[in-house]
Amino acid sequence: MAILIAALALAAASPRLLVFPLPNQVRSNGGAISISGYRILSDASLSGEAVTAREDLPLGGNRPEEVRLHLNIKMPSLGQEGYHLRATKAQILIESPTRAGLFYGVQTLRQMTTRTASGWLVPSVDVVDQPRFGWRGMMLDTSRHFFPKKDILHMLDLLSQYKINSFHWHLVDDGGWRIQIKKYPNLTDRGAWRIPTDGRFPEYKGLDFPPRRPNDHHYGGFYTQDDVREIVKYATKRHVNIVPEIEMPGHNLAATIAYPWLICSKDLKPGFQKETDFVFPNIFCAGKESTYKFVEDVLTEVMALFPSPVIHIGGDEVDKYLWSRCDDCKATMTKEHLASPAELESYFVRRVEKFVNARGRHIIGWDEILEGGLAPNAYVMSWRGEAGGIEAAKQHHKVVMTPWDQCYFDHDNTELPIEVALGYDPAPVSGGPNLAKYVMGAQASIWTETLPFERNIEDRLFPRILALSQSLWRVPRESESSFLDRLDLATGDLFRKIPGMHLRGPRVDQTVVLPGEQVILKEMPIGGLKLRYTLDGTRPNTTSSKWPGKLSLTKGQVLTAGYVGTNGLASEATQISCAKIQSAAVANVQPGLTYAYFAGSFKSVPAFAGLSPARSGEHTVIGLFAEDKEKEHYALDFKGYLRIDRAGTYRISTLSDDGSVLWLDGAKIVDNDGFHGRREQTATLKLEPGLYPLEVGYFQFTEGASLDVMISGPGIPKQKLGKGLLFH
């Protein structure tokens, strides 16, 4: 309780609130207001908004504070979602020219209302707020794994609290068809139920949708049209637009097994299996009129359920193996003067767009729909980096950014840390306002091949979605340290509300300290968890020592700390190593560094001293070589000196797939070892001017390969470690 009151006192002294996203303008009126609850009053036309406010805010008691909701059309500068909130002892007034703005004002009040022993506290402030981007979204894949209606409703409530206003609902894919289409009942009678029966999402060659007998227990589920109406109604109430995605023409194994006439000639099935490993073709035939009739029938039912002005049609990763061999597709290409299967896909998308446009809607598709020519009015969702979105903006098409390396939240929290989400800006760096005006915003995307449960989604989504929401909402950028300080104070409350959320380890100013230097961890109060530590490099558990508040280390010791509950370590582990890192007295150094390449099947960064390299030489940067791009099973060892020109605190990291380790003056300061996808691990340490012996080890096992070493510090914005800093 003390920490909450302290946080509110801080908010009263300076306009710093535990609200996410942080409002654009906050002015303190001094002090905090102690209340027993709220009494909601509103304009007569706002009865629905008043009901929602009563559901979201604590009510009643012997000294309720009056909250008045007022629709003020004379505030056009606040736009479609802005609001003005004034909290005084006399009254809390929330004004906006729109109902959405009033809702977001209530959500801000909801977050800054904090429980005390005798009631509630709310800081006395003036808030003027509106978003930078109109599309602040989250995509959930419910095809690979199915999430019941209650999970979707709960997710909508959480998202709307933090001003996420777009829910991209991925309903159709190879993993299952999840929405009832009455004209085609087999889409869900068969296409919603798959094997393996335990729900695991296998390699595609193991994915199948066999007919179900009465006692079969296949994995799956689907949303009835009544379910969809209930979910859409709830989302509308919370000012979240649901964008349904009906994937086409690829990624449709569930549909093609349910209705095999959707595919190209059946005699090509064995060839497709050999080419792709799928048990059955998963691509609609683009040459048959029956395909377009099916698509139009499906979209007619979908558009009757979803009022969204935008309908997502997928369009990604279409393997055109069958089209190039299909007589129907080749006949259509000849008739329509199409030069390639890529142009045939563009023809498919244009036909679908024409149908959707005629009903007052727009289509949006993944950035592959640019290939072969973009449909005239289509929006583009850019996922393979930002290049597709930039190209679409150059063609004057609206864009939503969700680049995989910055917004794919199915990536583990250590692979895509919260700092990346916080720093993301979807407006193109190049092109200026002429391109930026076409960017509607961005979204987090979660694919669920390995995420079967709601708790998995909460772990991936929170707290990173708070950071992304802030980057999309707030115009003046809050510093990373300020955001993380506020998040630390709010984590206890967030964890009570979202028990599946990902917990970061305790924050530290330095991850490398000198012998005898005191270590002070930034501890977060989290109910049911204790901060515990070890000094031998092992992960703390229920028997590990409780954190004493501060501690001094000796050379070579490794402090590992984390939050531990009854079931063991519940958070990331924070590691701090103790080393005396010194510069070297060397002369006549040359730019660049040396490297050695080792062939072999490594399971971790090896001890290079006992190995013979297959090749070696000099290089200007630390990274992978073009000649090794397609190779697997090898290791690299880079050696040289890191030049530091100014004294201060530096952040040095490796960003790699698979493992990497960085040593400075012989001390391991970054341990990013092991099998993993692209992941960043960072060391923070103080350095004096000089040349420091540097070594970076890396190994590549299989599936994906990357290596970058990053640095930031006094006079050095975060950048790859390269020319001017590396010598040998």
Strands 568-569 and 558-565: antiparallel
Confidence of residue 430 (pLDDT cuts 50, 70, 90): low
Place of tokens 């190779």: 631
Phi and psi dihedrals of 319, rounded to 5?
-80, 110
Q: Which of 99-103, 312-316, 607-611, 629-633 has the lowest mean pLDDT?
A: 629-633
301 is annotated as an active-site residue: no
Bigger pLDDT: 433 or 228? 228
Residue 400 three-state SS: strand
Confidence of residue 9 (pLDDT cuts 50, 70, 90): very low
* pLDDT in the model for residue 456: 95
Please give the span between the terminal C-alpha atoms of the chain, in angstroms, as a whole number.
55
* pLDDT in the model for residue 455: 95
Quick one: average pLDDT of 283-301?
97
User: For the chain, what percent of residues have pLDDT higher than 70?
Assistant: 97
- Answer whether residue 88 shows pLDDT above 90: yes
* Active-site residue (options: 55, 317, 628, 632): 317
Residues 6+ apart with CB under 8 A from 679: 412, 414, 415, 655, 656, 657, 672
Report which secondary-structure segment, H or E, holds 673: none
Contact assessment for residue 613 and residue 598, using Cβ atoms and an 8 Å cutoff: yes
Q: Which of 117-131, 365-379, 443-457, 617-631 has the lowest mean pLDDT?
A: 617-631
Quick one: average pLDDT of 485-509?
93
* Active-site residue (options: 49, 173, 247, 368): 173
Average pLDDT, the chain: 92
239 is annotated as an active-site residue: no
317 is annotated as an active-site residue: yes
- Dist. CA 408–CA 421, nearest whole Å: 10
* pLDDT in the model for residue 11: 38
* pLDDT in the model for residue 389: 95
- Answer whether residue 5 shows pLDDT above 70: no
* pLDDT in the model for residue 62: 84
| 516-562 tens-digit pLDDT | 889 999 888 898 999 999 998 899 999 999 999 999 999 989 999 99
- Answer whether residue 3 shows pLDDT above 80: no
Contact assessment for residue 32 and residue 121, using Cβ atoms and an 8 Å cutoff: yes
* pLDDT in the model for residue 431: 66
* pLDDT in the model for residue 14: 42
| DSSP line for 6-66 | HHHHHHHHSS--S-SSPPSEEEEEEEEEEES-EEEEE-GGGHHHHHHHHHHS-B-SSSPEE
* pLDDT in the model for residue 276: 79
* pLDDT in the model for residue 426: 94
- Answer whether residue 587 shows pLDDT above 80: yes
The neighbouring-strand residues paired with 715 are none
- Amino acid identity of 183? K
Strands 65-71 and 92-96: parallel
* Active-site residue (options: 218, 251, 397, 411): 251
Quick one: average pLDDT of 140-160?
97
* pLDDT in the model for residue 357: 98
Q: Can you list the pairs that 70-77 forms with residues at least 24 positions away whose Cβ atoms lie under 8 Å?
A: 70/42, 70/43, 70/94, 70/95, 71/43, 71/45, 71/46, 71/95, 71/96, 71/97, 71/98, 71/99, 71/102, 72/96, 72/97, 73/97
* pLDDT in the model for residue 429: 67
- Amino acid identity of 528? G
* Helix pair angle (464-473, 480-497), 10° resolution: 130
* pLDDT in the model for residue 275: 77
| 37-85 tens-digit pLDDT | 999 999 999 999 999 999 999 998 888 999 999 999 999 999 999 999 9
* pLDDT in the model for residue 280: 87
* pLDDT in the model for residue 7: 37
Confidence of residue 685 (pLDDT cuts 50, 70, 90): very high
